[in-house]
Chains A and B, each alone.
Chain A
Amino acid sequence: MANDPIHQFQISRLVPIEIGGMDFSFTNSSLFMVLTVATAGAFLFLTTSSRGLIPGRMQSISEMSYEFIAGMLRDSAGTGGMKFFPMVFSLFMFVLTANLLGMFPYFFTVTSHIIVTFMLALFVILTVVIYGLVKHGTGFFKIFVPSGVPAAIVPIVALIEIISFLSRPISLSVRLFANMLAGHITLKVFAGFVTSLGALGAVGIGGAILPLLMTVALTALEFLVAFLQAYVFAVLTCMYLNDAVHPGGH
């Protein structure tokens, strides 16, 4: 089914592994996660191995991504949040590399599966909750009680804030997953138009230019979205970490 836009998200078992009745198979998704980590790690390692005082092109890219995330984290969580830098940087590089790898034809897009993005988001939120509780104890719960609220409606406001807090991992993961899924389906559908129109003869080939142009434009847009979603994921992670480092404002 070359024209099925959903086919690209199918998971296939490469190495079937079953332990205690549970499926631990090494799938194409796992393969691309390994590839993502290997690519990101190898890129950072190889580009910085020369340690030039005057960075070359590739080393500049590594240093720029480092300073980009470091600046972002310092701005939103302060210097106290810098201990989370390795985590935020790894998350950003993982999501960015996975999104960009997904742009290769015939490659699997890891972040287009909600379970992957949801686990990433859950990891962020659990870090926030656990660190906040360990560092501030019950003071962490101050983030659920905004200042300047009349005592009479504090319970309702606190409940709404708690639900709002719990909805963060869901919106964080759904946003990344939905963007990648929708983008890849749109791309595939428009590319499918080219072949189906092209089969109609001379008029069809003339008409197929339009979806072809659209596909080219969408590919560019998808590269932008791939970067943007990794950026948004990292920014939101920083903002949530800020709650753990400074509950109840500064």
Chain B
Amino acid sequence: MAKTNGPDNASQSRDNRAGADAARDDSLDGRRRDLGARLAQRRAEAGIGGGDARSREATGYGQAMRLSSEFIAGIVVGTGLGWIIDRVAGTSPWGLIIFLLLGFGAGVLNVLRSAGMIADAGLRASRDEQGKQDRD
């Protein structure tokens, strides 16, 4: 019994040690990845925020120009797409109506994105991943 137990124990403890090592490596790796992601995120945010701060310093009018151009661009593109679809498919006026509304949504999305109220798709994805890792 004791003879068979000994190596078993030893291998178990070795397994444990290896497991602990692996866990430490994992956590180190995870931490490094985490840090990299956070740094990249912060750098990206600082870059965007820095640009915003500078243009805000320049003039409120600069920001007004930026946000309004984003909003109008969304609506113009949506309406244009709807109009083209109507012309091609002959579904007038439904394409125009639906795409005008979608364009409005896109314009609001553009404005919120450029005002920094919501993150960009890329940032959002990395944040989601991070959230998942935190939850795990």
Q: How far is the CB of A231 from chain B (nearest CB, A)?
A: 7
A residues less than 8 Å from B70 (CB atoms): 167, 171
| Cβ < 8 Å to A, chain B residues 14-39 | 37
The answer to whether A143 and B121 touch across the interface, beta carbons within 8 angstroms, is yes
Q: How far is the CB of A225 from chain B (nearest CB, A)?
A: 7
Report the bound CA distance from A170 to B126 in whole Å. Answer: 28
The answer to whether A170 and B77 touch across the interface, beta carbons within 8 angstroms, is yes
Report the bound CA distance from A31 to B113 in whole Å. Answer: 38
The binding surface of chain A is classed by DSSP as: helix
Q: How many residues of B contact A (CB 8 A)?
A: 40
The answer to whether A146 and B125 touch across the interface, beta carbons within 8 angstroms, is yes
Report the bound CA distance from A25 to B113 in whole Å. Answer: 41
The answer to whether A228 and B58 touch across the interface, beta carbons within 8 angstroms, is yes
The answer to whether B124 and A147 touch across the interface, beta carbons within 8 angstroms, is yes
The residue in chain A whose Cβ has the minimal distance to the Cβ of B81 is: A163
Report the bound CA distance from A161 to B121 in whole Å. Answer: 10
- Given A75-B43, A164-B110, A179-B62, verify A235-B51 contact (CB < 8 Å): yes
Report the bound CA distance from A168 to B77 in whole Å. Answer: 9
Query: What are 7 A-B interface contacts by the 8 Å CB criterion?
Result: A166-B77, A167-B103, A167-B110, A171-B70, A175-B69, A228-B54, A228-B58
Q: What residues of chain B have their CB less than 8 Å away from a CB belonging to chain A?
A: 37, 40, 43-44, 47, 51, 54-55, 58-59, 62, 65-66, 69-70, 72-74, 76-78, 81, 99, 102-103, 105-107, 109-110, 113, 120-126, 128-129
Q: What residues of chain A have their CB less than 8 Å away from a CB belonging to chain B?
A: 72, 75-76, 143, 146-148, 156, 159-161, 163-164, 166-168, 170-171, 174-175, 178-179, 182, 221, 224-225, 228, 231-232, 235, 239, 242-243, 246, 248-250
